[in-house]
Structure 1
Amino acid sequence: MDWLQVAVLAVVQGLTEFLPISSSAHLILVPVLTHWDDQGLAFDVALHIGSLSAVLIYFRKEIGRMLVNGLKAVSGHGINEDARLMIWIVIATIPVCLVGFLLKDVISHYMRSTLIIGASLIVFGVVLGYADWRNRGTRSEYQMTWKDALIIGAAQVLALIPGTSRSGITITAALLTGMSREGASRFSFLLSIPVIVLAGGLETITLLQSPQAIDGPAMIAGILLSGISAYLCIHYFLAIIKKLGMQPFVIYRVLFGAWLLWFFHF
């Protein structure tokens, strides 16, 4: 890999992992449009580490409170809002783990076409636009219920379809349950932690079992660039949606999806 490829892939991953525009769609399409060779599994692991580091650092206070109060709850000291939020994250993660494990081969072999990616960008973008347009919710992530967690977790399963966007579909579901834009987005970002850990863990196991050579400098650069861009993305996204909502991302999704369908299929 040359340094331009490292920089482009790392920044694309960092920015699109948390924006509701589908990281998988962009990472699948970058090699197609640039004719670069596949970046390899080792670099994919590095990008996941960078994204994970960003969300852990950004939400370090919330995560610390959830862990401390979660342990207190296990030891019989009662469940407060932080421990409850951790429980909702666990509940919302279970559906995508089960379905992803059962259908991973089907998804990887049959659902990564530009037709599916383009259609998913448009369809789920319009649904996000509707959810944001009708949203009058004021509840934060700390005011969720177990039913909200199940609904958001079920919606997250749809993110297994390339082009859907994990953050996009979970924010959509959270808005439809009556959460505020900020609350929906913050819960979506926190919900990404176990998903990234599990996905990165599976990739790491596969990597350790393969004879693939590892480009150390490229991996370090990928971790740093994806981590920095992801951190900035989270920070500015939460600021932007207070004023503009989700509609700029909806417009981008629809235009990008339409372009993909036109470019590859017409």
Structure 2
Amino acid sequence: MKLETVTLKLPPKLLDDAGVVASGQDVTIGHLVRHLLAKEVARRLHPKPSNRAADALVAALQALLARDFAEATGWRDLATRLARHGYELRPAGGGIALYKRSCGTRVCKGSELGFGYGILVRRFRAAMPGHPHGTLDQCFDTGPLEKPAPEPFGSAPPKHHLAPLFETAPDWAALAEGLRKQGYYLRAQGTGLAIYGEKDGRHLCNTAAVGFRYRKLVKRFGAPMPGHPHGQQWIKKNTVVQNDDAPEFEVIDTEWRPLPAET
């Protein structure tokens, strides 16, 4: 390889430090400079595309699409719901990915939104129409169809670590404070509830993964989580208040649907 001579002006300390590094690697300073320069130029001219969508975009899509993913009853219903927002799902290797309908741009993987292909296959009890990997050899559960817990975006906190806190908390304030002390906080996710890391704001898992669905917590505490847009359908106001110590809410066990308007 033909080499051209280039003169560089370096501060004395940088030159001395470069000499120490080069000596430690048993190379010349010129070799060290060529290696580092070639690496940086290649990084700038040929950046490797990232397969993982930016965290901010994923978080926004979670908020926008979580309810549609959670409430969809089948692949066709899910496709219709996503189309209203301008998105569609397509096969991607052994999984699925979210694309913009208008331009065909890939946005993120389904698993990044908390709904991997395997989870949806088991939930809908059918493969995605046209998917080359079909059912992924999954066995379908023949029990009642329930809304699944989203897959974690990061390493979910151990169940044994957080379960006692959910088990003993007397109300929403105590639960929130206990989670805060351990570096977590709660955030609404569709009609459910998710746990996020206080430090980096990343989605860890939903509360169902710890053994406590949002519905269960609402009925136990007698009120929806403050600021959560859902949950009122699982409780009703006391019709009779005998004294100041009477609870504001009476917990009732109903199906997962809004109560009829009171007359």
Task: Output the TM-score relative to the length of structure 1.
Answer: 0.24
Q: Which has the larger radius of gyration?
A: 2
Q: Which has the higher strand share?
A: 2
Higher relative contact order (CA 8 A, sep 6+): 1
Q: Which has the higher helix share?
A: 1
